């Protein structure tokens, strides 16, 4: 059987007197149990205190980080609003340029309707709002880029058309015969004159009146030595009665480039240039292009 009592002997140092303490086993067991409970409780309190401090520190860190993120979001929102205002100005200028260029309005950049109840917190809503603004700015930038590319393409075409459209006099001289019906200087019969006759001394420089490519250099009984330049967009110019060529077939020329020299070749009564402008193969009055 287990003992019912325990005796504790206490012997003070330097004394022969012995003190005895008798303890019941049940009391000792209860004392041990209470001690264990106290130790466990104290340990739990220590662990809880440490965990609470750690959680508090983590909460403070998260609060600081959250505040910093909110400040960053606010700065980003301000910058996005400034950028959006600049895009509004760009869009207005773009619209003015399109009106000047006689272009249609650009594609609409309106957003599709969206809605519904929000179940998100403030930070998430703010983030989503900024993300929507970013998406809107990107769409506006894409629209402006497409519009600018369209305007640039049309302006390039107009620039090419202006460069290809004959303009100015091909030679320094004086007009001796106009475009239209006239009496032929050789037989006196009325005949269509498909260009202008511009008199000048033999050897005077003859210049291209628009950008283009020399399509032919030939000698004809009526035109003598003649140069024809293809300018594109349906335009061609013809320079006849020359004394000399200064270009070759296939050569690219610009307005003002030297192409020939005035002469008296072919069916001619004197030194001059017969100058024609043809649009889609039909002779037109060069006076409109001088």
User: To the nearest whole number, what is the mean pLDDT of the chain?
Assistant: 82
- Distance, in Å, from the CA atom of 225 to the CA atom of 87, rounded to the nearest integer, reads 59
* Residue 8: predicted pLDDT: 66
Residue partners of 129: CB distance under 8 A and separation at least 6: 77
CA proximity to 198, closest of 244, 248, 255, 238: 238
Q: Are 273 and 198 in contact (CB under 8 A)?
A: yes
Q: 174-289: what fold?
A: Glucose Permease (Domain IIA) (2.70.70)
- Distance, in Å, from the CA atom of 201 to the CA atom of 263, rounded to the nearest integer, reads 8
How many CB atoms are located within 10 Å of the residue 272 CB?
Answer: 26
* Residue 246: predicted pLDDT: 96
Task: Give the start-to-end residue ranges of the domains of the chain.
Answer: 5-64, 74-107+119-164, 174-289
Q: What is the mean pLDDT of residues 128-149?
A: 79
- Distance, in Å, from the CA atom of 186 to the CA atom of 211, rounded to the nearest integer, reads 35
Q: For residue range 195-254, what is the model confidence (pLDDT) as tens digits? A: 999 999 999 999 999 999 999 999 998 899 999 999 999 999 999 999 999 999 999 999
Residue 263, classed as helix, strand or coil, is strand
Distance between start and end Cα atoms, the chain: 138
Q: For residue range 166-203, what is the model confidence (pLDDT) as tens digits? A: 999 999 999 999 998 888 776 777 888 899 999 999 99
CA proximity to 244, closest of 259, 261, 219, 269: 261
Spell 10-32 as b/e; 16+ CB within 10 A means b: eeeeeeeeeeeeeeeeeeeeeee
The listed range with the strongest mean pLDDT (59-68, 122-131, 216-225) is: 216-225
* Residue 165: predicted pLDDT: 94
Structure pTM?
A: 0.57
Q: Is the dihedral of CA 183, 189, 195, 201 positive or negative?
A: negative
Lowest mean pLDDT among 41-45, 64-68, 117-121, 136-140: 117-121
Written as six digits, the tokens of 40 are 């466990």
Is 130 exposed, middle or buried (CB count within 10 Å of its CB: 0-12, 13-18, 19+)? middle
pLDDT exceeds 50 at position 159 = yes
Angle between helices 25-100 and 122-164 (to 10 degrees): 20
Which tops the pLDDT comparison, 99 or 222? 222
* Residue 1: predicted pLDDT: 55
* Residue 243: predicted pLDDT: 96
pLDDT exceeds 60 at position 112 = no
Residue 30, classed as helix, strand or coil, is helix
Q: Are 25 and 2 in contact (CB under 8 A)?
A: yes
Helix/strand number for the chain, H first, E second? 2, 14
Q: Are 208 and 232 in contact (CB under 8 A)?
A: no
* Residue 110: predicted pLDDT: 45
Distance between alpha carbon 254 and the CA centroid of its chain, in Å? 31
Q: Are 242 and 200 in contact (CB under 8 A)?
A: no
The listed range with the strongest mean pLDDT (116-120, 152-156, 195-199) is: 195-199
Residue partners of 228: CB distance under 8 A and separation at least 6: 214, 215, 216, 217, 236, 237, 238, 239
Q: For residue range 9-32, what is the model confidence (pLDDT) as tens digits? A: 667 776 667 677 666 767 767 777
């Amino acid at each position: 059987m287990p003992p019912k009592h325990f005796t504790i002997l206490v012997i003070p140092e330097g004394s022969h007197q012995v003190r005895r303490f008798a303890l019941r086993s049940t009391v000792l067991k209860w004392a041990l149990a209470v001690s264990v409970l106290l130790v466990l409780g104290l340990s739990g309190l220590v662990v809880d205190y440490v965990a609470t401090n750690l959680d508090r520190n983590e909460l403070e860190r998260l609060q600081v980080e959250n505040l910093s993120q909110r400040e960053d979001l606010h700065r980003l929102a301000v910058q996005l609003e400034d950028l959006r205002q600049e895009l509004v100005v760009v869009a207005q200028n773009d619209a003015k340029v399109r009106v000047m260029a006689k272009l249609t309005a650009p594609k609409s950049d309106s957003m599709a309707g969206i809605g519904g109840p929000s179940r998100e917190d403030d930070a998430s809503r703010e983030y989503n709002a900024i993300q929507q603004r970013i998406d809107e700015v990107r769409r506006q930038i894409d629209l402006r880029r497409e519009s600018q590319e369209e305007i640039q393409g049309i302006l390039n075409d107009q620039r090419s058309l202006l460069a290809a459209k004959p303009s100015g006099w091909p030679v320094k001289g004086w007009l001796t015969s106009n475009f239209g019906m006239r009496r032929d200087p050789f037989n006196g019969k009325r005949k269509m004159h498909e260009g202008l006759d511009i008199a000048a001394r033999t050897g005077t420089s003859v210049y291209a009146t628009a950008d283009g490519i020399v399509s032919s250099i030939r000698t004809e009984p009526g035109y003598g030595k003649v140069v024809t330049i293809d300018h594109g967009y349906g335009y061609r110019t013809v320079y006849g009665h020359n004394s000399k060529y200064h270009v070759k077939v296939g050569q690219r020329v610009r307005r003002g480039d030297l192409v020939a020299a005035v002469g008296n070749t072919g069916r001619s009564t004197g030194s001059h240039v017969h100058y024609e402008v043809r649009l889609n193969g039909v002779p037109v009055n060069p006076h409109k292009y001088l």
